[in-house]
Structure 1
């Protein structure tokens, strides 16, 4: 449409149409900014819940390490090292987000967070990164390499290792026929609210990573506990001695052996008399008795073994017996007598 051929009315219609298109674009931009803000809020809520779960997990590991140090102390040490890496990186990001939101009057008015000046000025200078930008990348790399050092090479951690490398990758990004620096690609020129949401997503990745690793570490320990290599066979009988020609009713059952599972308390009696600490030792997860066989006949061992579990004592009843028989010399003496 040539401008010289338009009537004043048509010109007015065209102008109103242009204004309408501009208003649509403006509203769309505001809707996008609000969407980023709402996404950030949801991520913050999710991160708070994940942090509580991870803290509970680490606290539980500490408790188990007190109860069964041989089994859980190595796991606890790794869990605490991982938690320290996650806490340090998360605190750095939280501080950075605080500086970003300090540049606006109301951090909940997402439609006003449409400028990217703060990160553009603090991370970049020309085509290079400023020290603050280099520090940001170094924090990501430090967390990634620290986590990989803890878990790389461990059985069952292969998927987690790949996930950590992918989520915290800072390699240059392909763009067209060339590449662009990672920080430039992800943060330069973006609205403040978009960069803020990306920071919160990075915090979510930290907490998810910690949760996955802690879960895999515990799963590995539990799998080892229930492995068939930790079982032995036991013979159960209805009585301790049988007559010649009598049918034997013994049953062969499986019993779990674990050198790191030791009772926290032992209370046993032999024929009703309480055993003292000197009459037994705990070796390789077993209670080894050091008592005399007593007179000829059946002797009963009763009581309980107590194991610490989740801050409480679990009682395992003991009800067994053994028989003492006369040796050949004693039998000969009795016959002569």
Structure 2
């Protein structure tokens, strides 16, 4: 039986899957939702890279066949390669459609923040993917996965065995060890009690497996025509620099590499005639830059020569590349945790530095579209935007060095939650009619906003309306409860079967200046009461 050879990228994706499966077996906390989003983003980037590589592999097979003495004899290999691509693309595209539906269960994408409106949504994900009587989308995936694996194995080399893409918990290496998970089927294991970002990451991981299987079969087909990699007659040398413009006195770094290389040889590379180390087929260039000879724009044009010697299909070959770069007179850099966008009406702390000017650096700032507050140290400034964009003017010694324009974001609205009896009140579970004596309404700041602008992320619930309702009849009410307080007068009348109608009327935010503003908010909860 042939085993799948995994590249480092594929091993990384496999490790991501193990982590994902382990996390899904836990009661996922709010703090992990962002991690799931980052995991899904990483998987999607890796999947795009794998798709591009596989497409290039098919092109390499086609080009190689054209150069063979009898191309017609290998037409079936190209046909199979195209079939593998088609099967994989169709299944990946179908999963993309499911991911769009999953995003919709979370309310879609917020146009202001670019994030999912309700990433915590689990019930709608369950309804979509698992559903009643095992009729959810995840169950429809199982035969599609099985059919895909079967077709790929019929094209692959004899003995190739691809693991199932729809493992039940008892067959999963992680979930099978958990007594609470081991009896679940594929759909329940992956999409029960699963928030939106986790469901997206699960589907992206399945797409990664599909691309991995596709790569394996295409590699087998490519090896049959001697085109396991893109053919070497199109090899070219290239220099990749971190930057073409650097400040005098700073290090210049670049890589010299060939676009397609082989593990069978290591190219020899040099910089201005001197050998340089080659790591994974890429030459490492590093040297100190020198200034002088600046033009009217403060630029000094420089060049160097890189040489690459490698084995081409026609034999040994050497190519030389002359690379041009520019040395720039010392200027400034802006450092801030909130770039590239700032928050409206908030204290956005910036640090503007100029290593090249050193002791001569003593900047002054002004702004268009907001105000600036100078800091105590040189280069420190607080920018407070009042419009959709703000332009920061940077001056030093009476000379305007530049203008920096920033986009401005609106402050994200807080998440309002209601607490009582030592925990958050739940509309499904309800609470005790006799035990709930106080309410605590909390406005919780967006995590990323709080991290970058803590002085502006101070929220409080200012007014809450609470009513005791029996059936359709209101028994009593508290019209102006502050963010937290006693509801004893309602609790004394409450009976099992009643409910508390809770409406948040007003939320306030205190900014870095101590100014308080009212935040538009609309939230209603109905908390059922029991014994």
Tell me the TM-score normalised to structure 2 length. Answer: 0.33
Structure number having the greater strand percentage: 2
Q: Which has the larger radius of gyration?
A: 1
Structure number having the greater helix percentage: 1
